[in-house]
Amino acid sequence: MTLNQLSSGDLIADRRADYAKMLAEGGEPASAAELMAQALEQAPNWAAGWFRLADYEEKSGRKEAAIEALRKTLALSPQDIFGAGLKLALLGAAAMPEQPPSLYVERLFDDYADRFDKALVEKLDYTVPQKLAALIQSHIGQSHTGGLIFEHVTDLGCGTGLFGERIRDQAQFLEGFDISINMLAKAEAKSTYDRLARADLSLSPEVSGIFGNFATARADLVSAADVLMYLGNLDSVFDITTRLLTPQGHFAFSVEDAGDGEEFLLRPSLRYAHSETYVRGLCATHGLELVAMEHTVIRMDAGEPVFGILFLARKPA
């Protein structure tokens, strides 16, 4: 993300940091770390600089130096817009957080918005929207007239609207929520949604931003396509969803597959993966019936397939 390239406010430090970046991109992380350390001597309170130093130290195999730099980053930026706490957990220097910092997720997607569609669809072979829409279609079908089947769809973490585009012609009313203002602006430009608003899915229903003046129990379909990997513990999302759903309403969502081990785990990508057992347990705890499930490849990452699970659950009458 471009945030870790923010200026230090010191011309000499910025120049050294630029050279360090060139060295790192040229496959010389140790030399990059040395030059970055010199830059930080000029600008010792530069949080973004310490985060970059941590990256170079880690790639140089100097784990303890990377941990020290990440701790310095956190001390200078307690709100953790860089996700330093997540990196510390991956390096074994901190417990795995149950949620990433909201500000980190917001800034990540604000920065990603302009290239999101192109990067995901063309470069990473992202397939969740069409596969999730197909799962819904195969188990709910169409109305007897072949037209609309949902009165109200709520798309959680709607992003630029990739899933919204897939479900638009089946929904009488379509609303989308996202934590990123820039992603919401991209979605609005497509004119896909009837309503768009900002929300934080890691918070309780009362403060998430999804209800406010809007009614509860208003959606006969809630979707979360490729969203839950940016959350660890999913209780807040399931709380929000059960509040949103009408009786017999459906919840369609995807997760990255954590396999048979942990309930959820943090991966080097800084995304979370969730186990089938964990999701089944959440459905049971929150009173949802599991209708369908599909294990599938959801995207590519560094040339390797990322495996996920698609779920369709229903709120009983």
Nearest 5 degrees, angle CA 263-CA 269-CA 270?
Answer: 60
Average pLDDT estimate for 166-181: 96
Exposed / middle / buried, residue 138 (Cβ in 10 Å: 0-12, 13-18, 19+): exposed
Which tens digits make up the pLDDT trace of 143-153? 444 556 899 99
* CA dihedral (250, 252, 258, 264) positive or negative: negative
pLDDT number for residue 281: 96
Domains in the chain, CATH or no CATH each: 2-95 (1.25.40.10), 113-314 (3.40.50.150)
What's at 135, amino acid-wise? Answer: L
Three-state SS for 267? coil
Q: Mean pLDDT of all residues in the chain?
A: 92
pLDDT digits (tens, 9 = 90+) for 216-274: 999 999 999 999 999 999 999 999 999 999 999 999 999 999 998 779 999 999 999 99
Q: Which residue has the tokens 């919840």?
A: 251
Residue 312: which of 140, 147, 187, 182 has the closest Cα?
A: 140
Is there a contact between 185 and 118 (Cβ–Cβ < 8 Å)?
A: no
Residue 184 pLDDT exceeds 60: yes
- Residue 145: predicted pLDDT: 44
The confidence score (pLDDT) of residue 4 equals 43
123 alpha-carbon distance from chain centroid: 18
Alpha carbon distance 241, 63 (integer Å): 40
Whole-number Å distance between alpha carbons of 312 and 24: 44
Q: What is the pLDDT of residue 303?
A: 87
Structure tokens at 140: 């709910």
Dist CA 149 CA 62 (whole Å): 56
Distance from C-alpha of 314 to C-alpha of 246, rounded to nearest angstrom: 10
25 C-beta neighbours (distance < 10 Å), count:
10
The distance from CA 16 to its chain's CA centroid, rounded to whole angstroms, is 33
Reduced DSSP (H G I as helix, E B as strand, rest coil) percent helix, strand, coil of the chain, to 5: 45, 20, 35
Q: Phi, psi at residue 299, to the nearest 5°?
A: -170, 175
**DSSP letter (8 states) at residue 45:** T
- Residue-wise pLDDT for 53-104, tens only, equals 999 999 999 999 999 999 999 999 999 999 999 999 999 999 999 999 999 9
The percent of residues above 70 in pLDDT, for the chain, comes to 96
Amino acid 146: pLDDT: 52
Cα→Cα distances 142→37, 133, 304, Å: 61, 12, 35
Per-residue confidence band for 214, with pLDDT thresholds at 50, 70 and 90? confident
**Residue 113: pLDDT band with limits 50, 70, 90:** confident
pLDDT at 151: 95
Cα end-to-end span (Å), the chain: 45
Q: What are 301-311's pLDDT values in tens digits?
A: 888 999 999 99
* Length of the chain, in residues: 317
Cβ burial of 135 (10 Å; 0-12, 13-18, 19+) is buried
pTM: 0.92
Please give the Cα distance from 229 to 265 (Å, whole number). Answer: 10
> For residue 280, what pLDDT is reported?
96
How much is the pLDDT for 3?
A: 42
pLDDT tens-digit readout, 276-293: 999 999 999 999 999 999
The Cβ of residue 198 has, within 10 Å, a number of other Cβ atoms equal to 15
3-class SS of residue 257: strand
